[in-house]
Amino acid sequence: MRRRTLSALFTTSRSMFSQANSAQFNAKEIVRKDLERVTERIGKELDVCRLPGLKHASQYYFKKQGKLFRPLVALLMARACNKTQLKSNSEVTEEQLTVAMVSEMIHTATLVHDDVIDQAQTRRGQPVSHLVWGTKKSVFSGDYILARSSIALSRIGNPFVVELLAHVLDSLVKGEVMQLGTRETTADRFAHYMEKTFRKTASLLALSCQAVALLAGTSQSVSDLAYQYGRNLGIAFQLVDDMLDFVSTSDILGKPVAADLKLGLATAPVLFASETYPELDSLILRRFSQPNDVEKAWDAVKNSDGLQRTRDLAAQYTSDAVTCAQGLAYSHESALLIALVQEILSRKA
């Protein structure tokens, strides 16, 4: 049973991998120039710093480029919304490009802080910021990235957009704090986990999508679709992330596996597994802090349907995200938003 479940997961992943690769290639190709402008503008935004130590520390994570997933989604959504408005020019505006840039800067700032909190060792296959720059400078560099992103955001001059992105910060902090706790009962625990997941991961995608829709001048119903698309995509993304922590390898991920358990975190695979193995409850409540807790939880997840159910739940959210994208006027970009969603389920890192 255990072997069948895992091999089914990998077979599905493998068969979708080639399509998924081409989907992301197409999506990136269509916004390639804008993505280049995003990275170039981030460089300039941080380059103004007159304190060399702070400047170089804040530029560190941007040197080894990440997936640029958040700006990619925001830029595609911007173009899809511009087309929904039947504008003669559907090109991304400077303001929309700024939202895409700010989304990457906020994301990176949170990673710098998160790596300190998690006492991580590697990120994207290289030593984490605080091991290179020291904890204090690393924390300040996260603050500085956030400060520069706020300045860039204010230049848009749209208070509604500023408010949306400010809500992202509110959400991220609360999500991270929620992750420190859990709930007594199984049902409450799962609801807590899902709310944490929205706040920590999906809120940035949801509100960035809503912001670019607003800047396109779309109706309320279209900006709601944009928000819901980002929300569903983000939740699916995190569920798959939580699954990869059990099925991927550290080489592929660029960070250690079973990291969540070692940090005391009970994610969807463990929460589902606890329905089959109620003895996991006490381990979850003590955050896998006693000898062999991590190993016991790992085995329980692998021997249960926890991974398959996590994948099924992610598939439900991807399906909802597809429905949202289908609600936008049909365009090459809306089709690519759908292709991106499908890629989530087959991603390896």
> How near is the Cβ of 250 to ligand FPP at its closest, in Å?
11
Q: Residue 212 in contact with residue 74, Cβ under 8 Å?
A: yes
Per-residue binder mask for ligand FPP (CB under 6 A), 53-92, x = binder: ----------------------------------------
With 0-12 / 13-18 / 19 or more C-beta atoms within 10 angstroms meaning exposed / middle / buried, residue 245 is: buried
Choose from ligand FPP, Mg ion, none: what does 71 bind? Cβ within 5-8 Å by kind.
none
Phi and psi torsions of 126, nearest 5°: -130, 165
SS3 123: strand
* Least CB distance to Mg ion at residue 255 (A): 8
Rule CB under 6 A: say whether 334 interacts with ligand FPP.
Answer: no
Strand 122-123 relative to strand 126-127: parallel, antiparallel, unpaired?
Answer: antiparallel
By CB under 5 A, residue 176 contacts Mg ion? no
Is the Cβ of residue 119 or residue 290 nearer to ligand FPP in the bound state?
119
212's contact among ligand FPP, Mg ion, none, with CB below 5 to 8 A by partner kind, is: none
Q: Does 113 bind ligand FPP (CB under 6 A)?
A: yes
Alpha-helix runs per DSSP H in 48-158: 52-63, 69-84, 94-117, 129-133, 135-155
* C-alpha closest to that of 18 among 29, 7, 26, 6: 26
Nearer to ligand FPP, 114 or 224 (CB): 114
**Binding piece for ligand FPP, criterion CB under 6 A, among 168-176, 212-220, 229-237, 320-328:** 168-176
Distances (CA, A) of 246 to 154, 157, 176, 326, 349: 41, 44, 21, 32, 12
Q: How far is CA 93 from the centre of its chain?
A: 24
Short-list 341, 336, 301, 277, CA closest to 9: 301
Q: Which stretch binds ligand FPP (CB under 6 A): 25-33, 96-104, 172-180, 291-299?
A: 172-180
Q: Does 143 bind Mg ion (CB under 5 A)?
A: no
Footprint of ligand FPP on residues 225-284 (CB under 6 A)? 255, 259
Per CB under 6 A, 176 contacts ligand FPP: yes
Site residues (CB under 6 A) for ligand FPP, limited to 190-209:
200-201
DSSP states of 154-170: HHT--HHHHHHHHHHHH
To the nearest whole angstrom, how small is the minimum distance from the Cβ of residue 114 to Mg ion?
4
Of 74 and 216, which has the nearer Cβ to ligand FPP?
Answer: 74
The verdict on 118 binding Mg ion (CB under 5 A) reads: yes
Buried b (16+ CB within 10 A) or exposed e, 296-332: bbbebbbebbbbbbbbebbbebbebbbebbebbeebe
Residues that bind ligand FPP (CB under 6 A): 109-110, 113-114, 117-118, 120, 142, 146, 169, 172-173, 176, 200-201, 255, 259
